[in-house]
Structure 1
Amino acid sequence: MMKKVSVLFVCMGNICRSPTAQGVFEQLVQSQGLAEHIAIDSAGTHAYHIGNPPDQRSQVAAQNRGLDLSGQRARRVESPDFERFDYILAMDRSNLEDLQHLARQEQLERIHLFMRFATRWHVDEVPDPYYGGGSGFERVLDMVEDAAAGLLEHIRRNHL
């Protein structure tokens, strides 16, 4: 039996970008019949919202695309995550740096910017929509859908 590939999406508070990425990627993986091969989770670098569901605006934007994020709860990245996950994907450079500081040297190769897997968006970071208007949540979904497709293709090529 093949080992599951495990993916952790990380943003600051784990209530907007990373739960959105988790939901998008879960749906994509499920639709491709690969759910038994890929484990997916999300977390935050800060403890602001531990135990809370995703931001209501993220949930509404996701629901408009057929995604239900309501079952997710925010959690903070923990040291075992750096062993447990094959891919630890940061939404922006600040979170990438936070993750790199928490990881041991031999774990650094697991940590990447999520947008490196995008094919249509040529940016490094998924912007935090928390303080902006509703259109920011739609933009996050567009970016995340692109990067999620590229990530799944990368996993297929390298692991499945």
Structure 2
Amino acid sequence: MVEPQRLLVVCLGNICRSPMAEGALRARLEQAGLRQVEVDSAGTGDWHVGLPPDSRAIATARRHGVDIAGLRARQLSKRDFDEFDWLLCADHANLRDVQSLAPRASRGRSVLFMEWAGLAGPVPDPYTGNESHFEQVWAQVDAAAQAAVARLLGRLTHNPGQATGDT
């Protein structure tokens, strides 16, 4: 039996990029039948804890058939380093923040989301932008979600007993 894979997407406030990425990942994983892969999201900051995603993020995801309205922002916790196989960071600043909090043994599991998925570039923060910025971020995180599914399917197909760890 394949062990569950647990992915945590991390951005700054957990109201734009990471909930959109969580929604895209959940949708793509569901389409692929990868029910053993769990996804969550968190922010490095505490400004929005308990709040739903930004209304523009909700609207953008909804336009693409994904409902993220029920998500609530939370802050990254020390427990996350034990509970998740990968901490997938939106950009370099988020990665630095996560790695500064990570126990030494967990630092290698904190990576840029796009790079982990096999794509280039960080995911820019659309918070101060307009609807087109949110659409650009959706395109990025959805492409990364599709690439992540391909990565996971490749791992599960070629290494069925090793659903966690590095490829």
- Both proteins in one fold, TM over 0.5: yes
2:65 equivalent in structure 1:
66
- Equivalent position of 2:40 in the other structure: 41
Kept after mapping to 2: 8 A contact 1:14/1:43: yes
Identity %: 40
Aligned length: 157
Letter in 2 for 1:83: D
Paired position in structure 2 for 1:26: 26
Is the 1:117–1:148 contact (alpha carbons within 8 Å) kept by the matching residues of 2?
Answer: no
CA RMSD of aligned residues (A): 1.3
Q: Which residue of 1 aligns with 2:163?
A: none
Give, as a single letter, the amino acid of the residue that structure 2 aligns with 1:150: A
When the two structures are superposed, what TM-score results if normalisation uses the length of structure 1? 0.94
Q: Which runs of 4+ in 1 moved over 4 A?
A: none
8 Å Cα contact 2:88-2:116 kept in structure 1: no
Partner of 1:136: 133
The structural deviation recorded for 1:118 is: 4.9
Task: Supply the distance in 1 between the matched residues of 2:117 and 2:92 (Cα, whole angstroms).
Answer: 16
Asked if 1 retains the 8 angstrom alpha-carbon contact of 2:24 and 2:66, the reply is: yes
Counterpart mapping for 1:90-109 below 5 A:
90-109=89-108
Secondary structure (helix, strand or coil) at the match of 2:78 reads: coil
Q: How far apart are the structure 1 equivalents of 2:82 and 2:152? A: 18
Q: Comparing both chains, which one has the higher relative contact order based on Cα–Cα distances under 8 Å and sequence gaps of 6 or more?
A: 2
| Separation in structure 2 between the aligned mates of residue 49 and residue 39 of structure 1, nearest angstrom | 23
Q: Is the 8 A contact 1:118 1:143 kept in 2?
A: no
Contact 2:7 2:85 (C-alpha < 8 Å) held by counterparts: yes
Report the counterpart of residue 157 of structure 1 in structure 2.
154
Q: What's the TM-score, normalizing by structure 2?
A: 0.90
- For residues 95-123 of structure 1, what are the alpha-carbon distances to aligned partners after superposition, in whole Å with 9 as ceiling and x for unaligned? 0000000001110111110111456x632
SS of 2:13's partner is: coil
* 1:100/1:108 contact within 8 Å kept: yes
